[in-house]
Structure 1
Amino acid sequence: MAPRPTLVVMVKEPRPGRVKTRLGREIGHVTAAWWMRHQVARLLRRLRNPKWRLVLAVAPDTALASPAWPADLPRMAQGGGDLGDRMRRAFVTGAQHHRGPICIIGADIPAITPAHIDRALAALGSHDAVLGPASDGGYWLIGLKRPATPPGTLFTDVRWSTEHALTDTLAGLRGLSVAQIDMLDDVDEAADLRR
Protein backbone atom coordinates (compact mmCIF):
# COMPACT_ATOMS: atom_id res chain seq x y z
CA MET A 1 0.00 0.00 0.00
CA ALA A 2 1.36 3.42 -1.00
CA PRO A 3 2.07 5.86 1.83
CA ARG A 4 -0.51 8.58 2.38
CA PRO A 5 0.60 11.92 0.89
CA THR A 6 0.96 15.09 2.94
CA LEU A 7 -0.54 18.51 2.22
CA VAL A 8 1.36 21.33 3.93
CA VAL A 9 -0.43 24.67 4.26
CA MET A 10 1.87 27.66 4.77
CA VAL A 11 0.14 29.90 7.34
CA LYS A 12 1.08 33.14 9.02
CA GLU A 13 -0.44 34.16 12.33
CA PRO A 14 -3.29 36.55 11.45
CA ARG A 15 -2.11 39.65 13.31
CA PRO A 16 -2.82 43.16 12.02
CA GLY A 17 0.23 44.64 10.34
CA ARG A 18 2.01 41.27 10.14
CA VAL A 19 -0.14 39.38 7.63
CA LYS A 20 -1.37 40.46 4.17
CA THR A 21 0.41 43.80 4.50
CA ARG A 22 -0.12 44.87 0.87
CA LEU A 23 -3.85 44.16 1.23
CA GLY A 24 -3.80 45.89 4.62
CA ARG A 25 -2.43 49.11 3.12
CA GLU A 26 -5.54 49.26 0.93
CA ILE A 27 -8.34 47.99 3.20
CA GLY A 28 -6.81 48.44 6.66
CA HIS A 29 -4.56 46.05 8.55
CA VAL A 30 -7.24 44.93 11.00
CA THR A 31 -9.63 44.09 8.15
CA ALA A 32 -6.89 42.26 6.23
CA ALA A 33 -5.99 40.18 9.31
CA TRP A 34 -9.69 39.43 9.91
CA TRP A 35 -10.05 38.28 6.27
CA MET A 36 -6.96 36.07 6.56
CA ARG A 37 -8.14 34.46 9.81
CA HIS A 38 -11.48 33.53 8.23
CA GLN A 39 -9.91 32.51 4.91
CA VAL A 40 -7.57 30.08 6.71
CA ALA A 41 -10.42 28.62 8.77
CA ARG A 42 -12.57 28.06 5.65
CA LEU A 43 -9.66 26.59 3.69
CA LEU A 44 -8.68 24.14 6.44
CA ARG A 45 -12.28 22.96 6.87
CA ARG A 46 -12.56 22.41 3.11
CA LEU A 47 -9.26 20.55 2.78
CA ARG A 48 -9.71 18.01 5.57
CA ASN A 49 -9.70 14.74 3.69
CA PRO A 50 -8.75 11.16 4.59
CA LYS A 51 -6.77 10.88 1.32
CA TRP A 52 -3.97 13.06 2.69
CA ARG A 53 -2.43 14.21 5.94
CA LEU A 54 -2.99 17.95 6.57
CA VAL A 55 -0.08 19.78 8.27
CA LEU A 56 0.44 23.47 9.02
CA ALA A 57 3.78 25.22 8.44
CA VAL A 58 3.50 28.18 10.82
CA ALA A 59 5.13 31.62 10.85
CA PRO A 60 6.40 33.13 12.96
CA ASP A 61 7.83 30.15 14.80
CA THR A 62 6.55 31.61 18.09
CA ALA A 63 2.97 31.17 16.79
CA LEU A 64 3.08 27.35 16.80
CA ALA A 65 0.79 27.30 19.84
CA SER A 66 -1.49 30.11 18.61
CA PRO A 67 -5.21 29.56 19.16
CA ALA A 68 -5.70 30.69 15.54
CA TRP A 69 -4.98 27.10 14.40
CA PRO A 70 -7.23 24.06 14.90
CA ALA A 71 -5.88 22.18 17.92
CA ASP A 72 -5.95 18.79 16.20
CA LEU A 73 -3.75 19.68 13.21
CA PRO A 74 -0.02 18.94 13.38
CA ARG A 75 2.26 21.96 13.00
CA MET A 76 5.83 22.68 12.06
CA ALA A 77 7.76 25.92 12.26
CA GLN A 78 8.56 27.60 8.93
CA GLY A 79 11.86 28.91 10.26
CA GLY A 80 13.81 31.79 8.78
CA GLY A 81 14.90 32.79 5.31
CA ASP A 82 13.01 33.64 2.16
CA LEU A 83 9.99 31.73 0.88
CA GLY A 84 12.19 29.20 -0.90
CA ASP A 85 14.17 28.46 2.28
CA ARG A 86 10.95 27.96 4.20
CA MET A 87 9.35 25.69 1.57
CA ARG A 88 12.53 23.59 1.24
CA ARG A 89 12.49 23.18 5.03
CA ALA A 90 8.80 22.15 4.90
CA PHE A 91 9.60 19.46 2.31
CA VAL A 92 12.54 18.06 4.24
CA THR A 93 10.90 18.28 7.69
CA GLY A 94 7.66 16.79 6.36
CA ALA A 95 9.56 13.90 4.77
CA GLN A 96 11.32 13.17 8.07
CA HIS A 97 7.96 12.57 9.73
CA HIS A 98 5.86 11.15 6.90
CA ARG A 99 6.57 8.94 3.91
CA GLY A 100 5.09 9.74 0.54
CA PRO A 101 4.74 12.78 -1.70
CA ILE A 102 4.26 16.26 -0.27
CA CYS A 103 2.40 19.22 -1.74
CA ILE A 104 2.73 22.73 -0.30
CA ILE A 105 0.11 25.46 -0.75
CA GLY A 106 -0.41 28.98 0.47
CA ALA A 107 -3.37 29.79 2.70
CA ASP A 108 -4.47 32.85 0.73
CA ILE A 109 -6.01 31.12 -2.32
CA PRO A 110 -9.80 31.12 -1.82
CA ALA A 111 -10.61 28.86 -4.80
CA ILE A 112 -8.67 25.76 -3.72
CA THR A 113 -10.84 22.65 -3.45
CA PRO A 114 -10.07 19.01 -2.65
CA ALA A 115 -10.38 18.29 -6.40
CA HIS A 116 -7.37 20.56 -7.05
CA ILE A 117 -5.32 18.64 -4.50
CA ASP A 118 -6.47 15.33 -6.00
CA ARG A 119 -5.23 16.49 -9.43
CA ALA A 120 -1.88 17.54 -8.01
CA LEU A 121 -1.38 14.22 -6.24
CA ALA A 122 -2.47 12.28 -9.32
CA ALA A 123 0.12 14.20 -11.36
CA LEU A 124 2.81 13.09 -8.90
CA GLY A 125 1.95 9.50 -9.81
CA SER A 126 3.68 10.00 -13.16
CA HIS A 127 5.85 13.10 -12.57
CA ASP A 128 8.64 14.09 -10.18
CA ALA A 129 7.09 17.47 -9.40
CA VAL A 130 3.86 19.40 -9.86
CA LEU A 131 3.10 23.13 -9.90
CA GLY A 132 -0.18 25.01 -9.75
CA PRO A 133 0.42 28.25 -11.67
CA ALA A 134 -1.09 31.65 -10.88
CA SER A 135 -1.96 34.30 -13.45
CA ASP A 136 0.53 36.75 -11.92
CA GLY A 137 3.50 34.53 -12.86
CA GLY A 138 3.76 32.84 -9.47
CA TYR A 139 2.21 29.62 -8.25
CA TRP A 140 -0.15 28.45 -5.55
CA LEU A 141 1.04 24.84 -5.20
CA ILE A 142 4.29 22.94 -5.49
CA GLY A 143 4.61 19.21 -4.91
CA LEU A 144 7.44 16.68 -4.98
CA LYS A 145 7.20 12.93 -5.33
CA ARG A 146 10.45 12.50 -3.33
CA PRO A 147 10.46 15.47 -0.93
CA ALA A 148 13.26 14.18 1.32
CA THR A 149 15.80 15.05 -1.37
CA PRO A 150 14.66 18.20 -3.18
CA PRO A 151 16.99 19.15 -6.05
CA GLY A 152 19.85 21.37 -4.89
CA THR A 153 18.82 23.94 -7.48
CA LEU A 154 15.21 24.13 -6.29
CA PHE A 155 14.33 27.67 -5.13
CA THR A 156 17.77 29.00 -6.13
CA ASP A 157 17.66 32.48 -7.67
CA VAL A 158 13.86 32.70 -7.58
CA ARG A 159 12.56 36.24 -7.87
CA TRP A 160 9.77 35.93 -5.31
CA SER A 161 6.64 38.09 -5.56
CA THR A 162 7.32 38.82 -9.23
CA GLU A 163 5.99 37.56 -12.55
CA HIS A 164 9.15 35.41 -12.78
CA ALA A 165 8.61 33.14 -9.75
CA LEU A 166 7.11 30.21 -11.70
CA THR A 167 9.69 30.37 -14.51
CA ASP A 168 12.57 30.64 -12.02
CA THR A 169 11.23 27.67 -10.02
CA LEU A 170 10.85 25.59 -13.19
CA ALA A 171 14.51 26.33 -13.97
CA GLY A 172 15.40 24.88 -10.56
CA LEU A 173 13.50 21.69 -11.46
CA ARG A 174 15.37 21.19 -14.74
CA GLY A 175 15.98 17.51 -15.41
CA LEU A 176 12.85 16.41 -13.56
CA SER A 177 9.45 15.66 -15.08
CA VAL A 178 7.10 18.46 -14.05
CA ALA A 179 3.32 18.64 -14.44
CA GLN A 180 1.27 21.82 -14.22
CA ILE A 181 -2.32 21.77 -13.05
CA ASP A 182 -5.12 24.35 -12.69
CA MET A 183 -4.38 28.08 -12.60
CA LEU A 184 -5.62 29.74 -9.39
CA ASP A 185 -4.91 33.13 -7.86
CA ASP A 186 -3.98 34.31 -4.38
CA VAL A 187 -5.17 37.48 -2.68
CA ASP A 188 -2.49 40.14 -2.32
CA GLU A 189 -4.38 43.35 -3.08
CA ALA A 190 -7.93 44.70 -2.87
CA ALA A 191 -8.49 44.01 -6.59
CA ASP A 192 -7.69 40.31 -5.96
CA LEU A 193 -10.20 40.26 -3.13
CA ARG A 194 -12.96 41.71 -5.33
CA ARG A 195 -12.20 39.18 -8.08
Structure 2
Amino acid sequence: MAVQSRWIKMFVSFILMLQFTGAHSRDLLLSFTVRDGDKVTLPCENVINNHHNCDTTTWIFTDSRGTAAVELVNHGQIKESDKSDRLSVTAECSLVIKKVTAEDVGRYTCRQFIGNPGRQQGPDAVVYLSVVHMTEQKNADEVTLSCSVSIYESVTTEDNKEQLFTFSTQSSGKKPGGILMSKSF
Protein backbone atom coordinates (compact mmCIF):
# COMPACT_ATOMS: atom_id res chain seq x y z
CA MET A 1 0.00 0.00 0.00
CA ALA A 2 2.86 2.39 0.81
CA VAL A 3 4.43 1.64 -2.57
CA GLN A 4 1.16 2.50 -4.35
CA SER A 5 0.88 5.76 -2.43
CA ARG A 6 4.46 6.63 -3.30
CA TRP A 7 3.82 5.89 -7.00
CA ILE A 8 0.70 8.01 -7.03
CA LYS A 9 2.51 10.97 -5.45
CA MET A 10 5.45 10.63 -7.85
CA PHE A 11 3.28 10.56 -10.95
CA VAL A 12 0.97 13.33 -9.83
CA SER A 13 4.09 15.45 -9.34
CA PHE A 14 5.38 14.42 -12.78
CA ILE A 15 2.09 15.26 -14.49
CA LEU A 16 1.82 18.60 -12.69
CA MET A 17 5.35 19.39 -13.81
CA LEU A 18 4.32 18.69 -17.39
CA GLN A 19 1.10 20.70 -17.04
CA PHE A 20 2.98 23.91 -16.35
CA THR A 21 5.72 23.60 -18.94
CA GLY A 22 4.97 26.98 -20.41
CA ALA A 23 2.77 29.95 -19.81
CA HIS A 24 4.10 33.06 -21.48
CA SER A 25 0.86 35.02 -21.82
CA ARG A 26 2.69 38.31 -22.44
CA ASP A 27 3.92 36.77 -25.68
CA LEU A 28 0.47 35.22 -26.34
CA LEU A 29 2.12 31.79 -26.21
CA LEU A 30 0.91 28.95 -23.99
CA SER A 31 1.80 25.28 -23.71
CA PHE A 32 -0.35 22.52 -22.22
CA THR A 33 0.40 18.86 -21.60
CA VAL A 34 -2.58 16.61 -20.88
CA ARG A 35 -3.17 12.90 -20.51
CA ASP A 36 -4.77 11.07 -23.43
CA GLY A 37 -8.51 10.70 -22.99
CA ASP A 38 -8.79 13.91 -20.95
CA LYS A 39 -10.58 17.13 -21.86
CA VAL A 40 -8.55 20.31 -22.35
CA THR A 41 -9.54 23.96 -22.67
CA LEU A 42 -7.17 26.03 -24.81
CA PRO A 43 -7.58 29.72 -23.96
CA CYS A 44 -7.62 32.41 -26.62
CA GLU A 45 -5.48 35.20 -25.18
CA ASN A 46 -6.26 37.83 -27.84
CA VAL A 47 -10.08 38.06 -27.80
CA ILE A 48 -11.48 41.39 -29.01
CA ASN A 49 -13.54 43.28 -26.42
CA ASN A 50 -17.30 43.33 -27.01
CA HIS A 51 -17.23 40.31 -29.30
CA HIS A 52 -20.59 38.61 -29.85
CA ASN A 53 -20.68 34.80 -29.75
CA CYS A 54 -16.97 34.74 -30.62
CA ASP A 55 -17.87 35.92 -34.12
CA THR A 56 -14.41 37.51 -34.45
CA THR A 57 -12.53 34.33 -33.46
CA THR A 58 -10.88 31.74 -35.70
CA TRP A 59 -8.92 28.68 -34.48
CA ILE A 60 -6.32 26.99 -36.74
CA PHE A 61 -4.59 23.64 -36.08
CA THR A 62 -1.15 22.60 -37.35
CA ASP A 63 0.18 19.11 -36.61
CA SER A 64 3.74 17.77 -36.52
CA ARG A 65 3.38 15.67 -39.68
CA GLY A 66 3.81 18.58 -42.04
CA THR A 67 0.24 18.50 -43.35
CA ALA A 68 -1.53 21.74 -44.23
CA ALA A 69 -3.01 23.81 -41.41
CA VAL A 70 -6.70 23.12 -40.76
CA GLU A 71 -9.23 25.76 -39.80
CA LEU A 72 -11.21 24.27 -36.91
CA VAL A 73 -13.33 27.30 -36.00
CA ASN A 74 -14.29 30.14 -38.34
CA HIS A 75 -15.85 33.27 -36.79
CA GLY A 76 -17.00 31.29 -33.76
CA GLN A 77 -18.50 28.38 -35.72
CA ILE A 78 -16.96 24.90 -35.62
CA LYS A 79 -16.07 23.70 -39.11
CA GLU A 80 -16.54 20.11 -40.23
CA SER A 81 -13.38 18.04 -39.63
CA ASP A 82 -12.34 14.63 -38.33
CA LYS A 83 -12.37 16.03 -34.79
CA SER A 84 -15.32 18.45 -34.95
CA ASP A 85 -17.52 16.15 -32.84
CA ARG A 86 -15.00 16.55 -29.98
CA LEU A 87 -14.70 20.35 -30.24
CA SER A 88 -16.62 23.22 -28.68
CA VAL A 89 -16.05 26.94 -28.11
CA THR A 90 -16.66 28.58 -24.72
CA ALA A 91 -18.24 32.00 -24.14
CA GLU A 92 -14.68 33.33 -23.70
CA CYS A 93 -13.75 31.89 -27.15
CA SER A 94 -11.51 29.17 -25.69
CA LEU A 95 -11.31 25.95 -27.70
CA VAL A 96 -12.39 22.81 -25.81
CA ILE A 97 -11.16 19.40 -27.01
CA LYS A 98 -12.78 16.30 -25.49
CA LYS A 99 -11.15 12.85 -25.36
CA VAL A 100 -7.71 14.13 -26.37
CA THR A 101 -5.57 11.73 -28.45
CA ALA A 102 -2.02 11.80 -29.83
CA GLU A 103 -3.57 13.04 -33.11
CA ASP A 104 -4.45 16.29 -31.29
CA VAL A 105 -0.79 17.13 -30.58
CA GLY A 106 0.16 20.33 -32.33
CA ARG A 107 -0.01 24.07 -32.58
CA TYR A 108 -3.37 25.79 -32.10
CA THR A 109 -3.57 29.40 -33.28
CA CYS A 110 -6.34 31.76 -32.21
CA ARG A 111 -6.86 34.76 -34.52
CA GLN A 112 -9.20 37.70 -34.33
CA PHE A 113 -10.80 39.29 -37.40
CA ILE A 114 -12.83 42.49 -37.76
CA GLY A 115 -14.69 44.13 -40.62
CA ASN A 116 -15.90 42.77 -43.93
CA PRO A 117 -13.83 41.37 -45.47
CA GLY A 118 -12.20 40.37 -42.22
CA ARG A 119 -8.84 41.94 -41.39
CA GLN A 120 -6.73 40.25 -38.76
CA GLN A 121 -6.75 42.28 -35.56
CA GLY A 122 -3.73 41.99 -33.27
CA PRO A 123 -1.18 39.19 -32.97
CA ASP A 124 -1.84 35.46 -33.06
CA ALA A 125 -2.40 33.70 -29.74
CA VAL A 126 -0.61 30.35 -29.95
CA VAL A 127 -1.20 27.28 -27.77
CA TYR A 128 1.00 24.17 -28.05
CA LEU A 129 -0.63 20.91 -26.99
CA SER A 130 1.34 17.84 -25.90
CA VAL A 131 -0.20 14.51 -24.87
CA VAL A 132 0.96 12.00 -22.22
CA HIS A 133 0.13 8.29 -22.59
CA MET A 134 0.72 6.09 -19.51
CA THR A 135 0.53 2.32 -19.16
CA GLU A 136 1.10 0.10 -16.12
CA GLN A 137 2.31 -3.51 -16.11
CA LYS A 138 2.26 -5.62 -12.97
CA ASN A 139 4.37 -8.75 -12.66
CA ALA A 140 4.42 -10.39 -9.20
CA ASP A 141 6.05 -7.81 -6.92
CA GLU A 142 7.26 -5.57 -9.77
CA VAL A 143 5.34 -2.70 -11.32
CA THR A 144 6.48 -1.09 -14.56
CA LEU A 145 4.89 2.20 -15.52
CA SER A 146 5.60 3.53 -19.00
CA CYS A 147 4.96 7.11 -19.95
CA SER A 148 5.27 8.54 -23.45
CA VAL A 149 4.93 12.23 -24.22
CA SER A 150 4.02 13.32 -27.74
CA ILE A 151 5.22 16.86 -28.37
CA TYR A 152 4.70 19.26 -31.27
CA GLU A 153 7.82 19.24 -33.44
CA SER A 154 8.81 22.88 -33.13
CA VAL A 155 8.78 22.69 -29.32
CA THR A 156 11.62 20.15 -29.44
CA THR A 157 14.41 19.55 -31.93
CA GLU A 158 13.43 18.44 -35.40
CA ASP A 159 14.19 14.75 -34.74
CA ASN A 160 12.54 14.52 -31.31
CA LYS A 161 8.81 14.37 -32.00
CA GLU A 162 8.15 11.93 -29.19
CA GLN A 163 9.98 11.30 -25.97
CA LEU A 164 9.47 8.12 -23.99
CA PHE A 165 10.01 8.05 -20.24
CA THR A 166 9.89 4.70 -18.46
CA PHE A 167 9.66 4.35 -14.68
CA SER A 168 9.79 1.08 -12.77
CA THR A 169 10.17 -0.06 -9.19
CA GLN A 170 10.47 -3.33 -7.32
CA SER A 171 9.16 -4.19 -3.89
CA SER A 172 9.40 -7.28 -1.73
CA GLY A 173 6.29 -6.22 0.16
CA LYS A 174 8.33 -5.18 3.21
CA LYS A 175 10.17 -2.18 1.88
CA PRO A 176 9.93 -0.18 -1.34
CA GLY A 177 12.43 -0.86 -4.08
CA GLY A 178 14.38 1.67 -6.10
CA ILE A 179 12.95 3.71 -8.93
CA LEU A 180 14.47 3.36 -12.37
CA MET A 181 13.91 6.04 -14.99
CA SER A 182 14.97 5.78 -18.59
CA LYS A 183 14.44 8.21 -21.44
CA SER A 184 14.53 7.43 -25.14
CA PHE A 185 13.70 9.31 -28.33
Report if TM-score (shorter chain) is over 0.5. Answer: no
Quick check: which one's strand share is greater?
A: 2
Quick check: which one's helix share is greater?
A: 1
Structure with more relative contact order (C-alpha pairs < 8 Å, separation 6 or more): 1
